[in-house]
């Protein structure tokens, strides 16, 4: 299913259910993601796939930087605009509609870059990584958050959750969340079967690539520095 269609009905309820369906871990993962960046007041960070602007708000609050949040879903951005205004951050966070595959920015434009749950939705993750690296100034930090596949004893529990629990819980919430609940498990599995994220990043011209698995591997944060 097309990502724009998938996210269209989710904006108003996204934050509440994303937290619930990740057992409350999602905000903690975002905080770790944001802590990887080395930015302060006077810097500008690009947050790609910003959705309802949760990462953008955390970035602006934590470091005092300016943030440009980009997403291809008008519905998610609409909720994002409301959240940014409610947080009193409209002067430092700008939200724009656009796609990660063709960023509307010059080379070397940003002092930091974050993206969350993006690579499962693009046709060519390697090309998208090169496009993200292009707009980052050399030496600046890029960091991403993605769902992971736990290993060892946690794996069977994860399989049970994504095969049965998540589709069922999603169906209880709404038809839109039922689609997400059924789509997520196979989509997460496929990303990690097809790609070694660290290799993907290095091939895009990112150095010092590091990875941290969080919550038994249910979340993965990858970060590095543009060469
Ligand atoms: C699961 S949401 C994550 C939102 C937010 N970053 C967060 O942490 O909650 C994924 C977002 O990626 C956006 N997205 C998917 N593919 C995209 C693309 N190619 N370009 C820009 N945004 C995209 C979707 O519209 C959606 O808002």
Tens-digit pLDDT profile for residues 5-34: 887 787 777 777 777 777 788 889 999 999
Closest CA to 62 of 19, 22, 32: 32
pTM, two decimals, is 0.94
User: What mean pLDDT is predicted for residues 105-129?
Assistant: 97
pLDDT digits (tens, 9 = 90+) for 126-143: 999 999 999 999 999 999
- Distance of CA 153 from the midpoint of ligand 1 (Å): 30
Report the residue among 72, 96, 115 best suited for mutation to probe ligand 1: largest number of ligand atoms under 8 A from its CB: 72
The pair of three-digit structure tokens given for residue 163, joined into one six-digit string: 């095969």
Rounded CA separation 72/50 (Å): 9
The pLDDT value given to residue 1: 58
- Distance of CA 159 from the midpoint of ligand 1 (Å): 24
Report the atom number in ligand 1 closest to the C-alpha of 4: 25
Note the Cα 210 to chain centre separation in Å: 17
**Sheet of 206-214, strands arranged across:** 93-97, 66-71, 44-48, 110-116, 136-147, 219-226, 206-214
pLDDT digits (tens, 9 = 90+) for 27-80: 899 999 999 999 999 999 999 999 999 999 999 999 999 999 999 999 999 999
Note the Cα 185 to chain centre separation in Å: 16
Closest CA to 223 of 39, 74, 44: 39
In 60-205, the DSSP E strands lie at 66-71, 93-97, 110-116, 136-147
């Amino acid at each position: 299913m097309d990502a724009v269609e998938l996210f269209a009905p989710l904006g108003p309820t996204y934050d509440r259910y994303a937290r619930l369906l990740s057992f409350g871990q999602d905000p903690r993962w975002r905080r770790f993601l944001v802590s990887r960046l080395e930015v302060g007041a006077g810097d500008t960070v690009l947050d790609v796939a910003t959705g309802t602007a949760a990462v953008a708000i955390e970035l602006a609050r934590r470091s005092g930087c300016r943030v440009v949040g980009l997403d291809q879903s008008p519905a998610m951005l609409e909720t994002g605009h409301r959240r940014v205004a409610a947080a009193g951050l409209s002067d430092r966070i700008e939200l724009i509609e656009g796609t990660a595959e063709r960023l509307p920015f010059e080379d070397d434009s940003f002092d930091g870059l974050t993206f969350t749950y993006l690579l499962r939705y693009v046709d060519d993750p390697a090309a998208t990584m090169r496009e993200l690296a292009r707009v980052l100034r050399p030496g600046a930090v890029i960091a991403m958050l993605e769902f992971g596949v736990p290993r060892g004893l946690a794996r069977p529990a994860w399989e049970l959750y994504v095969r049965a629990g998540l589709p069922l819980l999603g169906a209880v919430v709404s038809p839109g969340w039922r689609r997400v609940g059924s789509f997520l498990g196979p989509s997460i599995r496929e990303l990690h079967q097809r790609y070694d994220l660290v290799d993907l990043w290095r091939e895009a011209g990112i150095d010092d690539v590091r990875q941290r698995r969080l919550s038994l591997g249910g979340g993965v944060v990858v970060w590095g520095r543009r060469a």
